[in-house]
Structure 1
């Protein structure tokens, strides 16, 4: 609702002729005819919130045109600037994922990010290549990047180096049929790298080395599997007490922070990046140390867990009825008990692909292993029995309680509250990652 009054203006002094409005109306389409007949300049002032001034000029006026920008009488005109952007912040795991997703790159992109520097594989004192690890498809070497020298025009001084040598992890194919798998993984890592928030959740990817058919990533030698084993050994050296025997091996505060970070990262993969990891286990999670010099107080868990090994990753289809791409290495290898029971039941089927629910189960089993300190979860069992127990994965908490570290999973404790809703027998009944992230942060 606008309150409009019209005030005649003296064309010489540009001052109001009278302090009393000559015509006053609210929202009316007409103006006092006597004022419109007057050839003098009229100023229409629209009273609103906030106040805005508009100046009109009659055809008979000889005054120069008035700018559409009305400067304040106290400040100079404002220089036009671009619209201010809000500061970037870490996406909340509870926000609408579609609002957070960045249209970074098409899922059908056919060209991965390329690594252009030279590589030098590191060797030990016996001149053997240093390996970080190996799997079914590949082996991971320790390497150094060697930036290629820049060419300078004649007569110009040499340019300063733009980058320096750094330690890298090079994931190279172990066999001939592994190249398509690694190329597909390079495409996935390229998409993830171009998606907002990847720095906190995914191993840094530097590009695909076409000549070697290899992936080049930052070297982060410590895996969650190694961390769990170290914490388990430490726990065995301490005298058990009734105060600590019911806690996770790394301590309750540290475990809760680990769980929160891992679940938040999985929520990012599903809801923002739109992918299913497909092979979550302690060996495929790397721990990047946090620089404690930048922290005001000691951290409960001084690492950033980063997901790695995306060779089994598939896209989450926008249409639930759309066919799923099963050409990846989804079920080429599996690790009981970290594989969801429904995936184990479909080992002979080429149509079954990992789902968000199977990822949730795998991370729950990983968190259970972190609590007990036992990477096998079912100790003192042969492979056949472990596989049978893994097929009944909805009973995984009971199986863990029957082990030597079962006291670390007390009933109604934090570990059970986090793991239980994620291992339901029916995949459709398992907790979703947004709900799970909220539960872990409570």
Structure 2
């Protein structure tokens, strides 16, 4: 017997549903990080510079969390089991369909045609009882980001929070950067030639376009939205296909997802945020200073740690190796990750090291982002210029 749909709703400031277009059923949702548990954080108002002050960035203090109020039905397989996109320590992500409310007509009026169709969605629900505060904080962050100018270009579409389930409702996105890297790596091994062995696995033009757009997205998070993502890695970047009539070297829009470790960039440096909902680490994508904090004073992620994480992600995309340090056991990979300022040398010594040639594009954009002293790492505005040169 099919389960009855769950009653949900969506509130927007413009009175229209922001639900995304219909997408295929073979989808990969945002994943939940493998995380070290921390108490939920409170979210201060975001920092805005002179330029960002002109954009409609919304703080937790002046807007409620976006609520999802359409009917929602969890999809089930042939064995009547809930369809899952994935799960992690904190949450489980279900495949679901929205069921828009039928239009109401006065008595005696013929019913009108429905104005919208069912949408495929990703519903991120708590996997355990203590995960609800984490997802509540993430919903607050996503609400603020959704009310920030140009968010459509950079983050996964967020449709609202289901208070009864404690779940986030988001657009289902076809694939993640992690799966894309794996696919491109397989193709590169199949079509290996000496003519392409010094290029990123996806090709130089496509890689440069991807790098430029990811760095631009991180610049938006830091300079406009005034947040630190806190857990950048290939699995937390989703790829939305672009329209066929747009001729782009990289045929996807990379969108940042999973904001469970996100913190605000404070207005004053001395007021640094030292608490957060989760402390996530995924060597080798976690900055070495963050790995050191696991055994020392707890520190929140910083813009510099985000820059390192994206640089490591770009290095993985170039080599086609999600581990970056293959053929190593976990202990050795962790030790190498703690020496993250040598990440280019480590990658170059691997089986795909030829794809990181000296003074090539990959090294030029990665090297200034992984220096040992976080204060000396490149800032995102300068990084955008470097990637666009």
TM-score, scaled relative to structure 1: 0.75
Q: Tell me, which stretches of 5 or more residues in structure 2 are unaligned?
A: 1-47
Per-residue CA shift, 1:57-100, capped at 9, x if unaligned? xxxxxxxxxxxxxxxxxxxxxxxxxxxxxxxxxxxxxxx95324
In structure 1, the partner of 2:264 is: 315
Contact 1:110 1:187 in 2 (8 A): no
In structure 2, the partner of 1:250 is: 202
Instruction: From 252, 255, 266, give the equivalent of 1:303.
Output: 252
Residue 378, structure 1, aligned to residue 325, structure 2:
yes
Instruction: From 140, 148, 152, give the equivalent of 1:187.
Output: 140
- Give the superposition deviation at 1:439: 0.4
Q: Tell me, which stretches of 5 or more residues in structure 1 are unaligned?
A: 1-95
- Give the superposition deviation at 1:109: 4.7
Contact 2:57 2:225 in 1 (8 A): no
- Give the superposition deviation at 1:110: 6.7
Residue 172, structure 1, aligned to residue 125, structure 2:
yes
Residues 8-407 of structure 1: matches in 2 within 5 Å? 98-101=50-53, 102-109=55-62, 111-241=64-194, 243-292=195-244, 294-295=245-246, 298-324=247-273, 326-329=275-278, 331=279, 333-349=280-296, 351-407=298-354
Q: Distance in 1 between matches of 2:103 and 2:296?
A: 52
Contact 1:400 1:406 in 2 (8 A): yes
Per-residue CA shift, 1:28-56, capped at 9, x if unaligned? xxxxxxxxxxxxxxxxxxxxxxxxxxxxx
Per-residue CA shift, 1:367-388, capped at 9, x if unaligned? 0000000000000001011000
Q: Distance in 1 between matches of 2:284 and 2:277?
A: 21
Residue 423, structure 1, aligned to residue 346, structure 2:
no
Q: Distance in 2 between matches of 1:110 and 1:265?
A: 24
Larger deviation: 127-136 or 418-427? 127-136
- Give the superposition deviation at 1:348: 3.6
In structure 2, the partner of 1:26 is: none
Contact 2:199 2:355 in 1 (8 A): yes
**Pair 221,128 (structure 1): closer, same or farther in 2 beyond 3 Å:** farther
Which protein shows a greater Rg?
Answer: 1
Contact 1:200 1:306 in 2 (8 A): yes
- Give the superposition deviation at 1:366: 0.1
Per-residue CA shift, 1:242-266, capped at 9, x if unaligned? x211100000000000000000000
- Give the superposition deviation at 1:350: 5.9
Q: Distance in 1 between matches of 2:297 and 2:124?
A: 26
Larger deviation: 157-166 or 396-405? 157-166
- Please give the root-mean-square deviation of Cα atoms over the aligned residues, in Å: 1.5
Q: Distance in 2 between matches of 1:410 and 1:281?
A: 23
Contact 1:132 1:221 in 2 (8 A): no
Larger deviation: 380-389 or 347-356? 347-356
- Give the superposition deviation at 1:238: 0.7
- Give the superposition deviation at 1:351: 3.7
Count, aligned residues: 341
Q: Distance in 1 between matches of 2:114 and 2:52?
A: 36
Q: Distance in 2 between matches of 1:354 and 1:112?
A: 24
- Give the superposition deviation at 1:396: 0.3
TM-score, scaled relative to structure 2: 0.85
Residue 410, structure 1, aligned to residue 357, structure 2:
yes
Q: Distance in 1 between matches of 2:276 and 2:368?
A: 30
Contact 1:232 1:249 in 2 (8 A): yes
Larger deviation: 252-261 or 317-326? 317-326
Contact 2:263 2:276 in 1 (8 A): no
Contact 1:418 1:440 in 2 (8 A): yes
Larger deviation: 96-105 or 246-255? 96-105
2:219 is paired with a residue of what secondary structure? helix
Contact 1:109 1:187 in 2 (8 A): no
